[in-house]
Amino acid sequence: MKLLLLSNSAAPGRSYLDHAREVITEHLDGVTELLFVPYALADHDGYTAKVAAFMDTLGIRVRGAHTAREPRELVASAQAVFIGGGNSFRLLKSLQRHGLVDAVARRIRADGVPYMGSSAGTNMACPTLRTTNDMPIVQPVSFDTLGLVPFQINPHYLDPVPGSAHMGETREERLRQFLEENDVPVLGLREGTWLRRSHDALELGGLAAGARLFTPGAEPVEHAPGADLSPLLAAEARFDCRPD
- Catalytic choice (19, 88, 94, 134): 134
DSSP 2-58: EEEEES-S--TTS-TTGGGHHHHHHHTTT--EEEEE-TTSS-HHHHHHHHHHHHHTT
- State the virtual CA torsion across 133, 139, 141, 143 in degrees, nearest 10: 10
DSSP 151-178: SEEETT-----TT----S--HHHHHHHH
CB atoms under 10 Å from CB of 147, counted, come to: 20
Three-state SS at 201: strand
- Catalytic choice (66, 156, 198, 230): 156
Active site residue 56: no
Active site residue 134: yes
Q: What residue type is 187 in one-letter code?
A: L
Active site residue 240: no
- Catalytic choice (9, 88, 118, 119): 119
As annotated, the active-site residues are 119, 134, 156
